[in-house]
Each structure stands twice: as structure tokens, then as C-alpha cells.
Structure 1
Amino acid sequence: MSLFLCVDCGGSKTSTVITNAAGDIVGRAHGGPSNFAYIGLQAFLLAVGATVSDALKTCVSPPSVDPVTLPPTSPLFAAAWFGVSGVNSQGAIDAINPPLSALLGIPVGPNLMVTNDVNLVAAPLRLYDDVDCAVACIAGTGSYVTSFKEGEGMELKEMGRAGGWGWILGDEGGGFSVGREAIRQILLDADIASVEGPPPPPKEGKSTLVKYICDLYSAPDVYELLTVVHLPDPAPGAHVIDSKVPNYAQTIREKRLSQLAPLVFRSAFEDKDPVAMKVLRTSSSVLVDQICILLRPGALRGVSASNGVLCFGGSLVGIEVYRQLILEQLKERGHVFKHIAVVEDVAAIGAKGLALATAGRV
């Protein structure tokens, strides 16, 4: 059986798509987070193995009710492409390749491709014949921006990169960044009010963003949010059963902030809350800063927006109003892309492209 596999390994979920040699999708599954840098090799392999096994259930005849055992007893995959968040070096790729090879029964080599997940988002570069570069911008739980030009085979040639440092050092413009900026803005406003007195309330009343976040954490005062943010992570594998223990104490610190992003978007675009809008403008601005690092045509590996396609991937930039904030700020800085592509199903695009590019040589 000649199957082609693509797995999009993200900080929130794992998406797996399997196609036949014609590029038709024959299997699909979703699983839990598989950011390699965050969860480590063994948890990564468990997450990947579970979703690939589930996707294979629909690829066998007759379809299986139970997960398909890995590694397969006979070769199933002609080629596989893993786009893995948290893979930012050749050392990480070298650590992943052998166990993936053993798990899937694919020899280490050109038919087993491991890249950062941002490479999958740049796949639309091959859909246009009037551009010579792509900038892939991922903004979901985290963020990462990379520029590409055409390479050999399925590989795209990476030109430059910005961000992708993880939640402690970066992830500007992603869900964690939005949540962190929301807390920062709420606390900053409270600090200013402690000196100048509270500002006049908006016509609609108290900021809905403040209300949503304080209600979520049962915080009677905004400064109680400091306790929520800085409380240590729960012990690995620990399960709090005391109903008196707040929910946030059972949540790792990164998620305590990234889970605020939907509240910020709701407050900004449904309630027209000025505090929430300021948060999103700030968060999108720092993401634009990173995109602009790559847009330096005169630099050795710089690219030009006017000759390129901007490829968006991830839950936050999947929201049109947030994309527009980014595009407006890019235009203000003199950067207008020839094409804009929103990649909603990166695993499907990766699997189809892999099948079409490799079917003739494997």
C-alpha cells in the first residue's frame, strides 16, 4: 500500500492526514499536544503514534474499529512529512528521526522528512507562478515566522527566521502573548489609577475584558491576578481532588495565560472594549515586527513582500479581524504582499503535496 503521511505537531493539538498516491485523503485523525520542546521525546512519540494509528483505521480494508498497531507488520507508508513545533535545530531533528523511523517503518532518509511546522504553512508558495518567495506566519498558541524560496523536491529553501522561541522568551502575537499582554494592560491601568485616580468609565460601563478575566479566576481585585500567574505549575501527573482548590492551580502557567486569548477576542470584537482592542493592537504589532525582520530585499537572505505570498497558519491568524490588524500595520510600514494565503488544513496540504512530489521517485 502506497500511503503518504503528514503530521502537523502543534502546542495544542496533533493533526494527521493520510493520502493515497493520487493525493486523495483516505485517513485523518486529531490528538493532543505534540510540541517537541515542551513535552519531550517520549510524550511526543506517544502523541504522534496515537494519532497516526487512529488515522490508519480508515485506510485498511475493512476499516478497523480498534487502533492500528505500530510499527506496521508490512510497509504502509511511501513517505512521511512531520511539521513539528519546537523543532528548531538539526540536533532536534536528529533526535526525532530514528524513533520515528522505527515507529512507522520508514527508513531514515529522503522519504522521512522532519521540519518545523512553519514549513508546512509555506506550501502555498508552489501555487503561484508570479512570486519568488513566501513568508509563513504561524500564530496559534505560540508564534513563528520564516521566509522561504523554492528548493529541491518537497523541501523549501529557508531564507530567514524570526521568533519561535517558546512562551518563556517569545511567542509574540500568539495566544500566550495575547493573554500575557491582557494581564499586563489590566495591571498597568490599575497602577496608573493608583496615582491619578480611576479614569472615567466608558459609556458601556466597566471593561468587559477585566470582568471576564477576573470572573474566570474568581479574582476580587485585579492584583489577585498576580497570584494566579505566578503560582507554580502543578506537580507532573498530580490530580487535585479538593474542590476548594481553584482550577487555575491545576493548570500549567503557560495555559493560564494562553487560555485568555478567546476572552480578549470576544471582548474586543463583540463588546468593542477599548482595553481589549489595545491588547490586540499591541500583540499584533510585535508579530509584525518579526515579519519585518525578514522583509529586507537588500539583505543577503532578505525577501520582498511585493514579490511574495504571506501564508497564515494557526488559530489566531485564522481569525480575519486579527489578520487585518497585521496586514494594516504591514501596509503602514510599506509592505504589501502580492498574495495572501490562509492555510487552514496544513496537514492535508502537506500530505497532498508530499504524494504528488514523491510518487514518481519512491
Structure 2
Amino acid sequence: MSGLRVGLDVGGTKTALRAADASGAVVADVVVPSGEWDAEPVERAARLILDVVADALGGRPIAALAVGAQGLDAEAVARALETALAASGLPRVACVNDAALLVPAAGFTDGLGLIAGTGAIGVGRTADGRDFVTGGWGWVIGDEAGAAGLVREASRAALLAHDDGMPDDGLLGALLDAFGVADAERLARAVNDEPTMANWAPHAPAVFRAADEGSALAAAVVDAGAEHLARLVDQLLARGAVGRHVVAGGSVVAAQPRLEAGLRDRLASRHPELELVILREPPVAGALALARRLAGDV
């Protein structure tokens, strides 16, 4: 089949595109800002995707397009986005949650996916081919293992300890330095005045540094993040997800050995039949793998 095989990984902050020709040779590999991405309304989302494709590939013919996107948590929304994209004339289109890219990016056809990056979400597929997600409720009320959620929970823990009259064990000071403020009251203001991923998530490394330097409060926050990821796996299995690999990716779990170790220990205890794989490939590799399957290459 002639035409390019195109995969996109659409996240909250950046969009990655990778395209290959029929032989499998990569002809485009770009990363651009996601802009004002939202999965709904799907007509607008489709236009944003098509604009990225047009900018990267011009008018080159496309044989198959696979999109993994943040916000495609409901199957009905994914199918609606496929329809909107197909209306532009694309012959083969598939849309999934961005966490669903991890398993194919690791080279597996079945498995459970976990993202712990800016946010945190799990994705699985049932034996009859139905995709579903657990978690991913957002940085304000959930995503405990994501960068923004970890900073939220660390701020709460540090401020509660401060109000209890406890001496700083290193976490409060780490957060004050990270946010560039002088005291607990100003930390609360800095966190609350701009409750966005962009404000919270970049400070997650400070939580891990504090834990590594001996802060019990920071270590407990990271431990709770690992427990959250393990619970996502519990939920996926309970709802029928199949596969013997758990593929975890994202900027936090891939870069922070403490979080990885906590997750690995819990899976070994609760689900010894599963193998944890930390994804080192960018998830867009999974999108391209899906596009190649759509085109009948593999």
C-alpha cells in the first residue's frame, strides 16, 4: 500500500509525529507544542491534528494515521474523532488514549500501559478488544503519581507538618527553593494562585531530591505515588485487561528510580505473573507501530 504511515502522540504540552514510508524508513520525526489541545469538541481536535500533519508532511499522501491523544478516555470520543479525521479523506484512521501507545512502543501486542508523566493514567484492553482507562482524573483531584499531582501532595504534606509545628525535614525547604518563595505562607499562595500543570509539574524533581536527601515526608509522597500506579494496575486487571507485561512510561517514572522501585516492589508482591517494563522509546513509536498495522505492514 502506497502512502505514508503516520503516528501522533498528542499530550497536554507537546505533540510528537513520526512518519514512515512503506518500507518502514522514517521520513519525518518532529515534536511541536500541543497548543490549546482538548479532545472535545472532536471537530476542533481533528483540525489541530490535521494542521500538525500538514505542517510536517505537506501534501504527501497518507496511507494510515494512528493517533494516541490525551483526553481520549471514553471509547465514544475516540470513535467520534476517528470519524472526524476520516472525513478529511484519510483512508485508515485509529484513535486511542495516549497511554495505549506504550504497549506497541515496547514491541508488544498485548499488555497494560501506565503513564506517569505530567499526569498519571492506566490503559488496558479486554480479550474482546475493548480499550479502557483507569485514573487520569487530572492534576486538581487525581493523578497522584504524575508530576503535578506529586507536587500537590508534597505541598499539602509540607504545609500540614508546618502547621503541626514540626521542624522542616527537607521537603518544605525544597519546595520553597523550587517555587522561589521565602516561607510556607508564600508557598501556599504560589501553589494556589496558579493551579495549573504548567505551574506545578516542573517542580516535581524537588520532591524526589528531598526524598533522596532523607525527607520522610517526601519519601511518603513518592511512596503514595507508587501505590497509586499499582492500584491502577489492580483496577485494570479487575476490569478484564489482558497481557503479562506492564509497560510504564512518561517523564516521571522513566527518570525517577525511586518511583519505579516502589511500583516494581508492589507488582512483584501483588501480581508476580506480570513483568514491569520501563519504556525508553518515545510513545510516538507506538503510534507509528499502530499505523503500520493499519496499513497491513505487520
Q: TM-score range by the shorter chain?
A: 0.7 to 0.9
Tell me by how many angstroms 1:100 deviates: 3.0
- 108, 125, 131: which one pairs with 1:148? 125
Match of 1:264 in 2: 207
For structure 2, list consecutive stretches of 5 or more residues without a partner in the other structure: none
Change over 3 Å in CA distance of 1:257–1:13 after alignment to 2 = same
4+ runs deviating over 6 angstroms:
none
Q: Distance in 2 between matches of 1:229 and 1:38?
A: 27
Structure with higher RCO (Cα < 8 A, 6+ apart):
2
Give deviations 1:204-233, integer Å, cap 9, x for gaps. xx61x42232134343221322222322x5
The verdict on how the C-alpha distance between 1:323 and 1:217 changes in structure 2, with shifts beyond 3 A counting, is: closer
* Structure 1: unaligned runs, 5 residues or longer: 57-67, 152-156, 234-251
Question: Superposition pairs for residues 130-169 of structure 1, below 5 Å?
Answer: 133-148=110-125, 157-158=129-130, 160-169=132-141
Deviates more, 1:174-183 or 1:280-289: 280-289
Structure 1 counterpart of 2:22: 21
Aligned partner (choices 170, 173, 183) of residue 142 of structure 2: 170
Per the alignment, residue 118 of structure 1 pairs with 99
* Correspondent of 1:225 among 187, 195, 200: 187
Confirm or deny that 1:292 pairs with 2:203: no
Aligned to 1:311: 247
The 1-side partners of 2:32 and 2:265 are apart by 35
Question: Contact between 2:103 and 2:247, CA under 8 Å: does it hold in 1?
Answer: yes
Residues 10 and 67, structure 2, Cα contact 8 Å, conserved in 1: yes
User: Are the equivalent residues in 2 in contact too, given 1:9–1:35 (CA < 8 A)?
Assistant: no
Question: Counterpart in 2 of 1:65?
Answer: none
The answer to whether the 8 A contact 1:312-1:343 is kept is no
Counterpart in the other structure of 1:239: none
For residues 119 and 135 of structure 2, the distance between their equivalents in structure 1, rounded to whole angstroms, comes to 10
Q: Tell me the TM-score normalized by structure 2.
A: 0.84
Counterpart of 2:282? 345
Please give the alpha-carbon distance, in whole angstroms, between the structure 2 residues aligned to 1:102 and 1:346.
26
8 A contact 2:39–2:72 mirrored in 1: no
The amino acid that maps onto 2:174 is Y
Partners of 1:176 and 1:186 in 2: CA distance: 15
**1:23 aligned partner, one-letter code:** G
Q: Could you tell me which of 197, 203, 211 is aligned with 1:254?
A: 197
Which of 72, 76, 95 matches 1:87?
72
2:39, 2:69 within 8 Å by CA — same for their partners in 1? Answer: no
Cα shift at 1:50: 5.0
1:113 CA displacement:
1.0
Identity of aligned residues (%): 24
Secondary structure, in 3 states, of the residue corresponding to 2:118? coil
| Pairwise CA RMSD | 3.1
The 1-side partners of 2:210 and 2:44 are apart by 35
CA distance, structure 2, for counterparts of residue 264 and residue 317 of structure 1: 13
Aligned residue number for residue 268 of structure 2 = 331
- CA drift at 1:42: 7.5
1:214 aligned partner: 176
- Which residue of structure 1 aligns with residue 8 of structure 2? 7
Cα distance between partner residues in 1 of 2:296 and 2:20 = 11
Over 3 Å counting, the alpha-carbon distance change for 1:41 and 1:275 in structure 2 is: same
1:156-183 Cα deviation digits (max 9, x unpaired): x236531122223322311111111110
Q: Residue in 1 aligned with 2:295?
A: 358
Q: State the structure with more CA Rg.
A: 1
Cα distance in 2 for residues equivalent to 1:188 and 1:169: 18
1:64 aligns with none
Task: Give SS of 2:121's match.
Answer: strand
